[in-house]
Amino acid sequence: MDTLERYWNGGFHEVQGWVNTNLLDCLTLISDVQNRLETTGNVAEIGVYHGKFLLALSHLLSGQNTKALCIDVFDDQSKNLDGAGEGNLAVLKENIERYGRRDVTYEFIKADSIALTAADKLKIMVQHGPFKLFSVDGCHTVEHTYNDLLTAQELICPGGVIILDDYMQPHWPGVTEAVHIFQRSAPRVRPFLYSSHKMFFAGIGSHSDYLNACCDREWRGRGVRVVPMFGVQVLVAYP
């Protein structure tokens, strides 16, 4: 945890990107629960941009042969359909060199996530996974977001968490619509926390562990409220 806080207080502010500082509370909470559940695995992100959030996730790894996987179209901007941030692999690698963990292997897949086949996903699982943390922040269309949630659900380990960006952001309505379609498909994950426009999902078997941890947490003066969403209870932390 100390390594995450060092990054958050230092390199986090130097890396270009859009990540709310309040999310540190969410990440430390998830790390505490995963340590208690003895959840092990790697981390991944679809839509990495310059690595601001991916680097934070990597600082929650235990080291010892762990991996951080970056999936992005990078310089192939013809596939960046919504223009939600033009990633640059060279800049990402520079940020990893400056602020990344030395005991973590950073790996890169240049691809449009919606084009990943079942064989591609199996290869990702075998070579890079499974994942205890999977961030979805790629193309914000309904189709891409829904597909990326399905991909993340397939690749997380028991006790793993999916982190979706821009839920209920008014300028990215496709993300919100995709979540509603996804939840109607009887998925194996349910939301347990919503904060700073990120929705956090856990498997049905560990949902109560995360929700109870959220309810027991000291939120440092932030407002919190537990509300029903998609048939489960979700803690909303604001602002």
Q: Tell me the DSSP string of 212-231.
A: HHHHHS--TT-EEEEEEETT
2-238 is classed in which CATH architecture? 3-Layer(aba) Sandwich (3.40)
> What is residue 79's predicted lDDT score, i.e. its pLDDT?
54
Task: Supply the pLDDT for residue 115.
Answer: 96
Report the pLDDT value the prediction gives residue 86, as an integer from 0 to 100: 73
pLDDT at res. 220: 85
Q: Which amino acid is at 180?
A: H
CB atoms within 10 A of CB 16: 12
> What pLDDT sits at residue 64?
82
pLDDT of residue 76: 67
pLDDT score recorded for residue 67: 98
According to the model, what pLDDT value does residue 85 have?
A: 59
Q: Domain boundaries in the chain?
A: 2-238
Cis? peptide before 170, omega within 30° of 0? no
Residue 194 three-state SS: strand
- How high is the mean pLDDT in each 10-residue block of the chain (239 residues)? 89 95 96 97 97 98 92 74 72 96 96 96 98 97 97 98 97 97 97 97 98 95 96 96
